[in-house]
Amino acid sequence: MFYEPVKQDHGLPKNPFNSLVIPRPIGWISSIDPEGVVNLAPYSFFNAVCYRPPTVMFASGAGSHDDGLKDSLRNVEATGEFVCNLSTWATREAMNQSSASVGPDVDELKMSGLNALPSILVKPPRVKEAPVHLECKHIRSVDLPNWSEKDRYVVVFGEVIGVHIDDQYITEEGLVDVDQMKPIGRLGYDDYTLVGGETIFTMKRPG
Ligand SMILES: Cc1cc2nc3c(=O)[nH]c(=O)nc-3n(C[C@H](O)[C@H](O)[C@H](O)COP(=O)(O)O)c2cc1C
């Protein structure tokens, strides 16, 4: 089949796009508003985009509040900081819970039964239950072209200025033990995947 997204003529019961760019890592973004209210939400339009300096991005869709912004985006733009927590099999239910559409006054970290840990270089807290935390400084936001206000997406770029790795996930050889961390990724629809065991394989690049 072939379809042109702008014509929305795929003829399928659900938009297949999310099932085609897969698996997507999940940036579990903690931020705070200027009054110090904590916010936590998962973003699977998320990735690392370069090494030096290490840089990540997440894309925020339209929010349901008066200003049309999601709380994470509003907070990052107001305070210039966020933390990206690694979402794993062990925290999958809490991650999902933290995506609930609640008001900006609700701390989703607490609401999801999680514990906060202070960060070192930024004000937003880290999720204690996550094995990896990336402390980030906002670089800039980029508004993407959109078909309507409802389809508005803003890409947020952040420089990773501090990295925490739970020592129990560093092997004796000094490698990150992804097999034990079991990160999860987003597929299309309500589906997810898990990295670990036989899903990990090794290939050397040609010399
Ligand atoms: C696994 C997962 C991935 C998500 N990815 C995105 C995303 O990339 N962009 C987005 O705008 N919303 C995404 N959402 C929805 C947001 O998490 C949800 O709208 C949340 O309420 C936003 O919270 P905030 O307003 O506190 O930032 C995702 C939800 C889940 C469960």
pLDDT in tens, 82-124: 999 999 999 999 999 999 999 889 999 999 999 999 999 999 9
Across the chain, mean pLDDT equals 96
CATH number for 111: 2.30.110.10
In this prediction the pTM is: 0.97
Where b means 16+ CB within 10 Å and e means fewer, 139-176 reads eebeeeeeeeeeebebbbbbebeeebebeebeeeeeee
110 inside domain: yes
Q: Does some domain include residue 198?
A: no
Buried b (16+ CB within 10 A) or exposed e, 23-33: bbbbbbbbbbb
Report the pLDDT value the prediction gives residue 68, as an integer from 0 to 100: 85
* The predicted structure's pLDDT at residue 150: 84
Mean pLDDT computed over 151-166? 96
The CB of 26 under 6 Å from ligand 1? The reply is yes
Our answer on whether the CB atom of 153 is closer than 6 Å to any ligand 1 atom is no
9 within domain boundaries: no
Whether ligand 1 lies within 6 angstroms of the CB of 25 is answered as: no
Query: Domain count of the chain?
Result: 1
Which atom belonging to ligand 1 lies closest to the Cα atom of 95?
A: 31
> Do the Cβ atoms of 189 and 97 come closer than 8 Å?
no
- Domain for residue 200, yes or no? no
pLDDT for 48 equals 98
| Residue 13 lies inside a defined structural domain of this protein | no
Protein residue with its CA nearest to atom 26 in ligand 1: 71
188 in any annotated domain: no
Q: Provide the residue range defining the domain that includes 117.
A: 24-176
CA–centroid distance, 43 to ligand 1, in Å, is 5
Please say if the pLDDT value at position 66 is more than 90: no
Residue 173: partners with Cβ closer than 8 Å, 6 or more residues away: none
Handedness of CA 99, 100, 104, 108 (dihedral sign): negative
Establish whether residue 71 lines the binding site of ligand 1, counting it when its CB lies within 6 angstroms of any ligand atom.
Answer: yes
Report which protein residue has its CA nearest ligand 1's atom 18.
Answer: 99
104 Cα nearest atom in ligand 1: 26
Query: To test ligand 1's pocket by mutation, which of 60, 70, 93 has the most ligand atoms within 8 angstroms of CB?
Result: 70
DSSP 8-state assignment for residue 168: G
Distance 41 CA to ligand 1 centre (A): 6
42 lines ligand 1 (CB under 6 A): yes
Residue 189 lies in a domain: no
The answer to whether residue 63 is domain-embedded is yes
The predicted pLDDT at position 83 comes to 98
